[in-house]
Amino acid sequence: MVEHLRQKFHKEANGLFKLRHKNIVRTIDFFKENDTIYYVMDYINGPSLGKFLKTTAGGVLSEDKAFEFFLQLCDALSYIHKKKMLHLDVKPDNILIDESGENVFLIDFGLSKQYDEANGENTSELTGRTPGYSPIEQDENKIQHFTPATDIYALGA
């Protein structure tokens, strides 16, 4: 099982390393050391959208700022979907705001999956779900095939 998880992590790191989008945190390197695989990502000096909303904005963004962030995230999701990848955990805590407050970055691809448009993801197993952001069928583990609709639902939520 440990070797299976190592291989899965290596595959994830390799996939993330290939992603190059202005609104996705960049993976700079990945390597194996002491029988463990690591990856190195850009440091985004700013809070998550979740923390920002709880502490700074009193739970509210202006309509203009929300729309600006939404468009950036739509572009990032469109990019990964074109690469046949799904995030599967889009939520405010997985979105970082940069120090300027002008740009957002999608992070935490730990649940991400590659998919095939014809057959979808060939598993219905998913360990992480976030109430309020995951579609009902994901919460109830009733998804036979994952599609971009899961990420789009979560972004809307």
Place of tokens 């998919």: 115
Q: Tell me what pLDDT residue 127 has.
A: 47
- 9 pLDDT above the threshold of 80: no
Place of tokens 């979740």: 50
Q: Tell me what pLDDT residue 99 has.
A: 95
pLDDT per position as a tens digit, 11-28: 777 778 889 999 999 988
Sorting pLDDT into bands at 50, 70 and 90, what band is 122?
very low
Task: Supply the residues annotated as catalytic.
Answer: 89
pLDDT per position as a tens digit, 29-62: 888 888 787 888 899 999 999 999 999 878 889 9
Tokens of residue 115, six digits: 């998919």
Tokens of residue 11, six digits: 């595959």
